[in-house]
A and B are shown apart, each in its own frame.
Chain A
Amino acid sequence: DSGVTQTPKHLITATGQRVTLRCSPRSGDLSVYWYQQSLDQGLQFLIQYYNGEERAKGNILERFSAQQFPDLHSELNLSSLELGDSALYFCASSVDPGLRNTEAFFGQGTRLTVV
């Protein structure tokens, strides 16, 4: 168990809908990362938050957004869902905003299926 908790584990929804994925980082970790794992794109970095503020953006669509709350949990919001958004979404957390001799710990992921 990495200590990173993601809910829900599975989500099935229809095209055009909006969903929210939730992540609770390890205790003491201030940085949260979101990754998408799809068959065609592999594992791709989406976005990072550090202590409530957006730190970096990767290949995140405009239909997607995220935030980190004062208690440090994070939510990834996916809207106007398309079939191609079906993927495994991972959250990871680390102590600091960059990789300074630490590593990121990954949650179990949320499997999103868009039908």
Chain B
Amino acid sequence: AQSVTQPDIHITVSEGASLELRCNYSYGATPYLFWYVQSPGQGLQLLLKYFSGDTLVQGIKGFEAEFKRSQSSFNLRKPSVHWSDAAEYFCAVGRRGDYKLSFGAGTTVTVRA
């Protein structure tokens, strides 16, 4: 069964500083990987996805993620955080032809001025 681990429950970062959110997955084949963001009171918005090809994926809002098969990781990064990036971030894994996504527990990001 596929599973996703987000080791950091909560991260606090200063505005303008860089951000990295960790995601490790357990899966027997090449996974489809996703990062979603959930702002307070909002739904889930897709930041970026990896299906195949280039392992460095660019997403919206200046985010990027790198798929590292050898480490079973798909970490999310942003070089310079804005106050509006304060939200909860979810990593998810799926597979081609499958019907569902398995989500990590989420990482809450707080941005301080």
A to B contact number (C-beta, < 8 Å): 57
C-alpha gap A99/B45 in the complex (Å): 17
Q: Which residues in B have their C-beta under 8 angstroms from that of A45?
A: 99-102
Q: Which residues in A have their C-beta under 8 angstroms from that of B46?
A: 103, 105-106
Contact bitstring A84-110, B, C-beta under 8 A = 1, else 0: 000000101000011111011111110
B97 touching A99, Cβ below 8 Å: yes
Interface size class of A (residues with CB under 8 A): 20 to 34
From B90, B95, B106, give the contact of A99 (CB < 8 A).
B95
Q: Which of B82-102 contact A (CB under 8 A)?
A: 90, 92, 94-102
From A48, A55, A56, A106, give the contact of B43 (CB < 8 A).
A106
C-alpha gap A30/B10 in the complex (Å): 36
Q: Which residues in A have their C-beta under 8 angstroms from that of B11?
A: none
A42 touching B32, Cβ below 8 Å: no
By the criterion of a CB under 8 Å from any partner CB, how many residues of chain B are at the interface?
A: 25
- Minimum CB–CB distance from A38 to chain B (whole Å) comes to 12
Q: Which residues in B have their C-beta under 8 angstroms from that of A103?
A: 34, 46, 49
- Minimum CB–CB distance from B1 to chain A (whole Å) comes to 11
C-alpha gap A56/B104 in the complex (Å): 20
Q: Which of B16-73 contact A (CB under 8 A)?
A: 32, 34, 36, 42-46, 49, 51
A90 touching B43, Cβ below 8 Å: yes
C-alpha gap A98/B90 in the complex (Å): 20
B102 touching A101, Cβ below 8 Å: no
A2 touching B43, Cβ below 8 Å: yes
B96 touching A100, Cβ below 8 Å: yes
A98 touching B102, Cβ below 8 Å: no
User: A58 in the interface, Cβ–Cβ < 8 Å?
Assistant: yes
B45 touching A2, Cβ below 8 Å: yes
Report which B residues bind A (CB closer than 8 A): 32, 34, 36, 42-46, 49, 51, 90, 92, 94-106
